[in-house]
A and B are shown apart, each in its own frame.
Chain A
Amino acid sequence: MGREVSESCVEGLMMEVVSAYSSRLYPAKPDLAARRIEAIGFQVGHQLSERYTMERPRFSDHLEAIKFICKDFWSELFKKQIDNLKTNHRGTFVLQDNRFRWLTRISIDPSTESTDESTPDNNAAQATNMHLYFPCGIIRGALTNLGIPCAVSPDISNLPACSFVVRIKA
């Protein structure tokens, strides 16, 4: 095992980058804030996957690469694997983590994230989504580095389970 830091350091950074972009830098442009946060994740995923695959042979197909993300890559980041992997065999994969670590410890105050006329539930969902652009970016960056361009979106309909939907670009 290499060097370690406290998990609070990583969580602190993630919460702050979300609040910096969505509250201070682009308060009126949530889409832009989201893109920036995703871009940061992308860069991290790209670099991590480069490091973690240095000593292994190329993946023979998309499924092999996705399995690598679910097992080795996820374990490096979260000390557990993805719990469930589904695919429609036409380029869409759903990676489900039953207890996604980065969501179990954040608490969101809907009142501070309010936008006009939306319900508190909506606001909470929106704020939760803001915290998921970073891990979505990580997955997209990692897969892109493995030669698989894709789009990644979150699905939080079963909290604290969280799914990442990967759509591979043809």
Chain B
Amino acid sequence: MAPLAPRSGDAVFASVERVNAELFTLTYGAIVRQLITDLEEVEEVNKQLDQMGYNIGVRLIDEFLAKSNVSRCVDFKETAEVIAKVGFKMFLGVTATVINWDAEGTSCSLVLEDNPLVDFVELPDTCQGLSYCNILSGVIRGALEMVSMKTEITWVRDMLQGDDAYELRVKLLKQVPEEYPYKDDD
């Protein structure tokens, strides 16, 4: 059977089950607020959000691969484009732009101008240092790790901290060779 053609982000988004974004945005906001109350330290909240994102990414990658028909990317540049144009679109209904590649082609920025996580959100002064969207970087890190790419992801710009867009710096640390999960005699 011939491999299925990769689908565009719009086509995949149109085909998945969708819910109104208010539920998502308000749920995320309520989680962040509760974590701040319970953990007190902003750094701890950032860590917990990243961990939650990582765990979600580890699961979402399967759905992503199953529904997008994306085949193996030839290089990290293609990977970044697929995340920006298909991954973000499929789950959040928005696309990101890839900019600022380094010379080696191993780190770049994903820029989001429209971000459903932050609709209706305003941070009080007491939340200095809170990386509100930290779950997103966790999701990407978790998903990429499942396809053998170890990455480090940091926030460069954050509209909630007064910047003009959301910018994630994605750095490929190493590509782990795929390991066959079972021994032959299992």
**Chain A interface residues (CB < 8 Å from chain B):** 1-10, 12-17, 19-20, 24-25, 36, 39-41, 43-44, 47-48, 51, 76-77
Q: State whether the Cβ of B21 lies closer than 8 Å to any Cβ in chain A.
A: yes
* Besides A4-B20, A5-B24, A16-B55, 13 other A-B contacts (C-beta < 8 A): A2-B21, A4-B93, A5-B21, A6-B18, A6-B19, A10-B27, A13-B27, A14-B27, A20-B48, A24-B51, A25-B48, A44-B26, A44-B27
Of B56-64, B77-85, B125-133, B167-175, which binds chain A? Answer: B56-64
A12 to B144, CA, bound (A): 17
Q: State whether the Cβ of B23 lies closer than 8 Å to any Cβ in chain A.
A: yes
A146 to chain B, nearest CB (A): 17
Q: State whether the Cβ of B10 lies closer than 8 Å to any Cβ in chain A.
A: no
Of B31-39, B103-111, B149-157, which binds chain A? Answer: B31-39
Q: Please determine whether B31 and A10 come into contact, CB atoms closer than 8 angstroms.
A: no
Q: Please determine whether B16 and A16 come into contact, CB atoms closer than 8 angstroms.
A: no
Residue of B nearest to A39 (CB): B34
A81 to chain B, nearest CB (A): 16
B49-95 at interface with A (beta carbon < 8 Å): 51-52, 55-56, 59-60, 63, 90-93
**Chain B interface residues (CB < 8 Å from chain A):** 13, 16-24, 26-28, 30-31, 33-35, 38-39, 48, 51-52, 55-56, 59-60, 63, 90-93, 116, 119
A1 to B31, CA, bound (A): 25
A75 to B116, CA, bound (A): 21
List of A residues within 8 angstroms of B26 by Cβ:
43-44, 47-48
Q: Please determine whether A9 and B38 come into contact, CB atoms closer than 8 angstroms.
A: no
Q: Please determine whether B16 and A7 come into contact, CB atoms closer than 8 angstroms.
A: yes
A-B contact count (CB 8 A): 101
Q: Report the 8 A-B pairs with minimum CB-CB distance, sorted nearest first.
A: A12-B56, A3-B21, A7-B17, A43-B30, A4-B18, A16-B52, A40-B30, A6-B91
A6 to B139, CA, bound (A): 14
Q: Please determine whether B20 and A76 come into contact, CB atoms closer than 8 angstroms.
A: yes
Residue of B nearest to A32 (CB): B38
List of A residues within 8 angstroms of B35 by Cβ:
20
Residue of A nearest to B64 (CB): A8
The answer to whether A6 and B93 touch (CB under 8 A), given A12-B59, A12-B60, A16-B55, is yes
The answer to whether A25 and B38 touch (CB under 8 A), given A7-B17, A40-B31, is yes
A72 to chain B, nearest CB (A): 13
The answer to whether A17 and B116 touch (CB under 8 A), given A4-B21, A6-B91, is no
Residue of A nearest to B13 (CB): A6
Q: Please determine whether A10 and B23 come into contact, CB atoms closer than 8 angstroms.
A: yes
List of B residues within 8 angstroms of A47 by Cβ:
26, 30
The answer to whether A9 and B34 touch (CB under 8 A), given A3-B20, A3-B119, A20-B51, is no
Q: Which listed residue (A5, A19, A43) contacts B55, Cβ 8 A?
A: A19
11 A-B residue pairs with CB within 8 Å: A3-B21, A5-B21, A7-B19, A9-B24, A10-B23, A12-B59, A17-B52, A24-B48, A44-B30, A77-B19, A77-B20
Q: Which listed residue (A2, A25, A40) contacts B20, Cβ 8 A?
A: A2
A107 to B29, CA, bound (A): 25
Q: Please determine whether B19 and A10 come into contact, CB atoms closer than 8 angstroms.
A: yes
A1 to B38, CA, bound (A): 35
A93 to B140, CA, bound (A): 43
